[in-house]
């Protein structure tokens, strides 16, 4: 088992969706939530995302942090100085990053990635911003596969007039 501490970071609608549809620009989050994401991922120093999430993020989202992009087709992407593309399982990701000397990692989506790390028992904490939206459909925050995890609320704060940031510890 890896010794890397993992933090899953999500912005979701009140009804549990990270996007309305696959090509959603993800631009509906507030400045404050984006600032929270930037600060956490820079502090942690490394993030894991899926290829769909990678395609939607602005180039500036990858500054000052190492990014591991999970994809079944790593050859379709050109690696950059701080961005690598791998076809890894969640455990292989953490073993790889641990081998590079990382002690913490931010898991930053999408839903399939979030689900696979949770299913494999590889998430220590979850930071979820509840945005002031209801989509009633779209891409679920935690993917399509059933999971059953118990959580302990560690902290919460109102980050804008309409958004809450919840911090949970994953218990099992």
Over residues 147-163, mean pLDDT: 96
Q: What is the pLDDT of residue 33?
A: 92
pTM of the model: 0.92
- pLDDT score of 1: 46
In the chain, where the domains are located: 5-152
CB atoms within 10 A of CB 68: 21
- The CATH homologous superfamily for domain 5-152 is Dihydrofolate Reductase, subunit A (3.40.430.10)
- For 120-142, write each residue's pLDDT tens digit: 999 999 999 999 999 998 888 89
The CA-based dihedral angle spanning residues 26, 27, 33, 36, taken in that order and rounded to the nearest 10 degrees: 70
| Mean pLDDT of the residues in the chain | 91
Instruction: Judge whether residue 158 has pLDDT over 70.
Output: yes
Question: Considering only 56-65, 109-118, 126-135, which range has the smallest mean pLDDT?
Answer: 56-65
Q: What is the mean pLDDT of residues 51-66?
A: 87
**Does 2 or 36 have the greater pLDDT score?**
36
């Amino acid at each position: 088992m890896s010794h890397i501490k993992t933090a899953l970071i999500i912005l979701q609608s009140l009804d549990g969706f990270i996007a309305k549809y696959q090509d959603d620009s993800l631009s509906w989050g507030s400045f404050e939530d984006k600032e929270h994401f930037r600060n956490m991922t820079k502090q942690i120093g490394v993030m894991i995302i899926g290829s769909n999430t990678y395609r939607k993020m602005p180039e500036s989202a990858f500054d000052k942090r190492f990014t591991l992009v999970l994809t079944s087709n790593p050859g379709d992407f050109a690696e950059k100085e701080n961005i690598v593309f791998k076809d890894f399982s969640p455990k292989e990701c953490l073993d790889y990053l641990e081998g590079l000397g990382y002690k913490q990692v931010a898991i930053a989506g999408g839903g399939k990635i979030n689900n696979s790390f949770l299913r494999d028992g590889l998430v220590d904490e979850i930071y979820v911003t509840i945005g002031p939206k209801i989509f009633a459909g779209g891409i679920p925050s935690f993917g399509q596969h059933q999971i059953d995890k118990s959580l302990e609320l560690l902290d919460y704060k109102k980050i804008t007039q309409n958004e809450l940031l919840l911090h949970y510890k994953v218990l099992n």
